[in-house]
Amino acid sequence: MLSKINNYIKKNTGILIRLDDIAENMNWDLMNKSELLFEKYKIRPVLGVIPNNQDKELLSYPKKIIFGNK
């Protein structure tokens, strides 16, 4: 029984990568580099998106329109 549990844990446990503060205005050069690494190693991070960015520090970056406005 214990070996079944250990095998299940080994097969179904991993590392969670979460990226917060994704916005139209952010350091997209760094994000693009990260995206290449994620693709290379088949990593699917969880992204935390700012729906209405008002952060003055992030607003200092150029705006990259990738978010659909419907």
Asked if residue 4 belongs to a domain, the reply is no
Return phi, psi of residue 43, to 5°.
-100, 135
Asked if the structure places residue 26 within a domain, the reply is yes
Q: Does residue 9 belong to any structural domain of this protein?
A: no
Domain assignment of residue 29, given as a range: 14-70
Assigned domain for 41 exists? yes
Give yes or no for a contact between 51 and 10, defined as CB atoms under 8 angstroms apart. no
Cα gap 54→37, rounded to integer Å: 29
Q: Does residue 2 fall inside a structural domain?
A: no
Backbone torsion region of residue 14, taken as left when φ is above 0, otherwise alpha when ψ lies between -120 and 50, otherwise beta? beta
Q: Indicate whether 4 pLDDT > 80.
A: yes
12-30 pLDDT, tens digit per residue, is 877 889 999 898 888 989 9
Residue 20 lies in a domain: yes
pLDDT (tens digit per residue) in 22-69: 988 889 899 999 999 999 988 889 999 888 889 898 889 888 877 655
The whole-number average pLDDT for the span 2-11 is: 84
Q: How many independent structural domains does the chain possess?
A: 1
7 assigned to some structural domain? no
Smallest Cα–Cα separation from 18: which of 64, 49, 61? 49
In a domain, 1, yes or no: no
